[in-house]
A = this chain, B = another copy of it.
């Protein structure tokens, strides 16, 4: 009997609090099929690890440590921001990948990332076919931006959404306590350069049984200073305070990011600030309200301590499904989440062809944003509700989450010469 083919797994782009849960799903499932999948290698720092033949032998990790990936945030094998060029522009990179796969008898390629990675995964499957090298390339979806098409949602998003909703609720309670004599407006900046999915989650802080005055600035809505200030003023006059959730991607009428609105240091150099301080200062200058502002940045996507249980379960399930698709002989596909019902929330796994996924960005529907542009609609709530549901706490030791760090043992190189990236 022929030696089973090995597999390669890599993490790509910005990491999330549940991408390791997908890795866990891939590795645990592969380990159950040793007759079909031999060794499972991971790329050190993503696809760069494949290009430079810097592979990690996940077989050296204990069962316990692999299980711990389920509750460990970030990319356990390292990720990278490295977009492979088009096949025409840099065929050498794709050929190099196939060369490395060949050298290590790799027949399965699992790529865990967002839209760009789906495109890379597709191209890898194509070049392998062109070169006559048998390879099954499966994409595992991941992105806090929730912008992949076909799948109902993307692992990573639900947990960021939960973090933002919880934080916005907590901060709103804080401002409500202080507003009589002090802070009246709290501004929180969230991720989402192109789409307002994460900003929308701020709206979930307010619910029917706990209404809170929240104003959202979406990247989909052109920033109108006058309308925004009028909205904030109205909220403060009515409720005594308000919280503003501003997406880092909000742009003004000239198409310029608010975050880059002309701050200069003492020497006249442009300063990259955040959108939150810009918005906060605007409120102070025009309305005179005392403010506080926060920028969540990495905290939001790393916050495994408050991950959504739905998100963790789906991240794991998609990793598992990717391996099962490979075992079924599929290639150039991505497992997806198919929503069967909203309430009670039911979902099942589906499959999308990578040619339908690559380079397609799912926008937030306009119907998810309230008419005035500053809030979310009931339709948006229905969509978001199940995604932030459930808690999935990591274990703690001495007051801190006991996240795992793997050994990440290197696989001996087989190719001569270095590949320059």
A residues near B, CB below 8 A? 11, 14-15, 17, 45-46, 48, 72-76, 78-82, 162, 165-167, 169-171, 173-178, 180-183, 186, 188, 204-205, 207, 209-210, 261-266, 271-274, 276-277, 281, 292-299, 301-306, 308, 385, 388-391, 393, 396-401, 403, 405
Knowing A174-B302, A204-B400, the reply to whether A277 touches B281 (Cβ < 8 A) is no
Q: Which residue of B lies closest to A77 (CB)?
A: B177
Contact B74 A405 (CB under 8 A): no
Cross-interface CB contact of A274 among B277, B301, B305, cutoff 8 Å: B277
Closest 6 CB pairs of A and B: A262-B266, A75-B177, A388-B399, A294-B297, A170-B302, A74-B173
Contact of A266 among B181, B183, B261 (CB under 8 A): B261
Q: Given the interface contacts A265-B263, A297-B294, does A174 sit within 8 Å of B73 by beta carbon?
A: yes
Q: Which residues of B contact A180 (CB under 8 A)?
A: 45-46, 48, 78-80
A358 to chain B, nearest CB (A): 21
Known pairs A75-B178, A79-B180 / 16 extra A-B pairs, C-beta < 8 Å: A73-B173, A74-B176, A75-B177, A81-B181, A81-B182, A82-B181, A165-B400, A169-B400, A170-B299, A170-B303, A171-B297, A209-B397, A210-B403, A264-B265, A294-B294, A305-B306
What is the bound-complex CA distance between A264 and B276, given in angstroms? 16
16 contacts between A and B (CB under 8 A): A15-B174, A15-B177, A48-B180, A48-B181, A74-B176, A79-B177, A167-B303, A169-B401, A169-B403, A174-B298, A263-B263, A293-B297, A294-B299, A295-B295, A385-B399, A389-B399
Distance in angstroms between the alpha carbons of A271 and B274 in the assembled complex:
12
**CA A414 to CA B363, docked complex, whole Å:** 59
In the bound complex, residues from chain B placing their C-beta under 8 Å from that of A17 are 170
Kindly state the separation between the CA atoms of A209 and B397 in the bound complex, as whole angstroms.
Answer: 10
Residues on B with beta carbons closer than 8 Å to the beta carbon of A167: 299, 302-303
Instruction: Please name all residues of chain B whose beta carbon is closer than 8 Å to the beta carbon of A296 when the two chains form the complex.
Output: 294, 299
Set of chain B residues within 8 Å of A174, measured between Cβ atoms: 15, 73-74, 298, 301-302
Residue of B nearest to A297 (CB): B294
User: Which chain B residues lie closer than 8 Å to A72 at the CB level?
Assistant: 173
Listed residue (A76, A389, A398) with the most chain B CB atoms within 10 angstroms of its CB: A398
A80 and B299 CA atoms in complex are apart in Å by 29
The residues of B that contact A186 with a CB separation of less than 8 Å are: 298
Among the listed B48, B281, B294, which residue makes an inter-chain contact with A271, where contact means beta carbons less than 8 Å apart?
Answer: B281
State how many angstroms separate the Cβ of A338 from the closest Cβ of chain B.
Answer: 21
A343 CA / B170 CA spacing, docked (Å): 32
* In contact, A400 and B298 (Cβ under 8 angstroms): no
In the bound assembly, the distance between CA atoms of A388 and B305 in angstroms comes to 14
A173 contact from B210, B261, B302, Cβ within 8 A? B302
CB of A161 to closest CB in B, whole Å: 9
* A401–B273 alpha-carbon span in the complex (Å): 32
Residues of B within 8 A of A207 (CB): 398, 400
Contact among B297, B303, B405 with A292 in the assembled complex (CB-CB below 8 Å): B297
Chain B residue nearest to A240 in the complex (CB): B78
Residues from chain B with Cβ under 8 Å of A272 in the complex: 277, 281
A281: chain B residues at CB < 8 Å are 265, 271-272
Residues from chain B with Cβ under 8 Å of A166 in the complex = 305, 400-401
What B residues does A169 contact at CB under 8 A? 400-401, 403
Tell whether, in the assembled complex, residue A266 and residue B265 are in contact, meaning their CB atoms are under 8 Å apart: no
* Of B74, B178, B262, B294, the contact of A177 (CB 8 Å cutoff): B74
Q: Which residues of B contact A403 (CB under 8 A)?
A: 169-170, 173, 210
In-complex Cβ contact of A393 among B76, B182, B271, B393 (8 A) = B393
Are A171 and B11 CB-contacts (below 8 A) given A74-B177, A400-B388?
A: no
